[in-house]
């Protein structure tokens, strides 16, 4: 077969493979959890619900949609997943017109350790980007949002992404895992003394080697390629010290990466948008303003 025909055939096969793979995600757009790897996740310890990382879609009214998408990583110390930091954020963002996908990633409480959580987050980002292509959204406006330990996972993805592999057999693996922006809510950042012991133990184990502790201290991993980031925290946080947010912001500043940093005096850890009897700082208004500045909202 002539070279130009072989190239055309390869292109057709790529397109057909990509469309077939993305169309398998139809369940995700209906609000039902969809597995990241239908044939089984790499390194899975079993086949229970705890071993199957999944995405759940929350989609805006078509008349409202802005073309942007967000992958949401709930917190929970790498031992659980907090619903108000998943569905709660997604419901607010869809009202703003942003398509959201909440990730159920694997947890240390179920026997998983790094890099499984990062594998799940990277795969989720690739899939959200592919869904954006399929649904007529902008694949260059895909963010990641995480709270507490989910903030650590988000900051890990912000500093450990890749461009995808053009020759990958799996069409999703050809997509970049680099978020176009990051949102970190009272995040765990460092694995050092100012971090959160529970998150560190669930992610790395109690006897993690020093080089792994350094590698997952994300204030040390920021580069000029780290995406723009919105960060908020409270001084009063008694669970994850505010220094975590300050460390990451300082690293972004040194690297010349755009960021918004909001430090509020009052507020306990894990507030999200707030709940009855637990008022959150007015970060939602600051967040909405920043999303407009970054082109995620009109």
Kind and range of the H or E element at 100? strand 99-104
- Domain limits at 239? 3-293
Instruction: Quick: pLDDT tens for 122-174.
Output: 999 999 999 999 999 999 999 999 999 999 999 999 999 999 999 999 999 99
d(CA 210, CA 221): 15
Judge whether residue 269 has pLDDT over 60: yes
CATH number of the domain within which 168 lies: 3.40.50.1820
- What is the total count of domains within the chain? 1
d(CA 41, CA 49): 12
Q: What percent of the chain has pLDDT over 70?
A: 90
Instruction: Look at residue 32 in the predicted model and tell me its pLDDT.
Output: 87
Instruction: Look at residue 277 in the predicted model and tell me its pLDDT.
Output: 83
Instruction: Look at residue 22 in the predicted model and tell me its pLDDT.
Output: 56
Instruction: Quick: pLDDT tens for 105-126.
Output: 999 999 999 999 999 999 999 9
Instruction: Look at residue 276 in the predicted model and tell me its pLDDT.
Output: 83
Instruction: Quick: pLDDT tens for 169-228.
Output: 999 999 999 999 999 999 999 999 999 999 999 999 999 999 999 999 999 999 999 999
Name the pLDDT band for 232 (thresholds 50, 70, 90).
very high
Instruction: Look at residue 10 in the predicted model and tell me its pLDDT.
Output: 44
Instruction: Look at residue 2 in the predicted model and tell me its pLDDT.
Output: 56
Q: How many CB atoms lie within 10 A of CB 294?
A: 18
Judge whether residue 13 has pLDDT over 90: no
Residue 160: partners with Cβ closer than 8 Å, 6 or more residues away: 118, 221
Q: What is the mean pLDDT of residues 91-97?
A: 98
- Closest alpha carbon to 171 in 142, 120, 137, 130: 130
Judge whether residue 1 has pLDDT over 70: no
d(CA 157, CA 142): 13
Judge whether residue 9 has pLDDT over 60: no
Whether residue 298 is contained in a domain is answered as no
Residue 204: partners with Cβ closer than 8 Å, 6 or more residues away: 113, 114, 191, 212, 213, 216
Query: Buried b vs exposed e over 206-237: b needs ≥16 C-beta within 10 Å?
Result: eebeeeeeebbbbbebbeeebbbbbbbbbeeb
The alpha carbon torsion through 237, 241, 242, 243 (nearest 10 deg) reads 170
CB 56 within 8 A of CB 101: yes
Give this prediction's pTM: 0.92
Place of tokens 């959200």: 128
Judge whether residue 87 has pLDDT over 90: yes
Whether residue 145 is contained in a domain is answered as yes
Instruction: Quick: pLDDT tens for 31-41.
Output: 789 999 999 99
Instruction: Quick: pLDDT tens for 237-251.
Output: 999 999 999 999 999
Bridge pairing between strands 181-185 and 142-147: parallel
């Amino acid at each position: 077969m002539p070279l130009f025909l072989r190239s055309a055939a390869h292109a057709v096969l790529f397109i057909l493979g990509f469309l077939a793979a993305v169309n398998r995600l139809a369940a995700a757009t209906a609000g039902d959890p969809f597995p990241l790897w239908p044939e089984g996740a790499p390194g899975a310890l079993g086949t229970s619900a705890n071993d199957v990382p999944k995405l759940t879609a929350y989609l805006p009214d078509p008349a409202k949609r802005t073309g942007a998408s967000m992958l949401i990583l709930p917190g929970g110390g790498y031992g659980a997943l907090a619903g108000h930091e998943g569905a709660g954020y997604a419901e607010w963002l869809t009202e703003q017109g942003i398509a959201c996908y909440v990730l159920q990633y694997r947890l240390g409480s179920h026997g998983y350790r790094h890099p499984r959580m990062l594998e799940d987050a990277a795969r989720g980002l690739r899939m959200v980007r592919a869904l954006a292509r399929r649904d007529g959204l902008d694949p260059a406006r895909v963010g990641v949002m995480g709270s507490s330990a989910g903030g650590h996972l988000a900051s890990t993805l912000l500093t450990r992404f890749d461009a995808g592999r053009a020759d990958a057999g799996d069409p999703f693996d050809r997509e970049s895992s680099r978020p176009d922006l990051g949102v970190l809510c009272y995040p765990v950042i460092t694995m050092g003394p100012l971090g959160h012991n529970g998150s560190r133990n669930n992610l790395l184990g109690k006897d993690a080697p020093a080089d792994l502790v350094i590698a997952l201290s994300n204030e040390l991993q920021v580069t000029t390629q780290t995406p723009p980031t919105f960060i908020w925290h409270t001084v009063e946080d008694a669970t994850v010290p505010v220094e975590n947010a300050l460390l990451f912001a300082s690293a972004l500043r040194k690297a010349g990466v755009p960021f918004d940093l909001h430090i509020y005096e009052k507020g306990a850890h894990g507030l999200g948008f707030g709940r009855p009897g637990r008022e959150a700082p007015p970060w939602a208004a600051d967040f909405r303003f920043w999303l407009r500045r970054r082109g995620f909202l009109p």
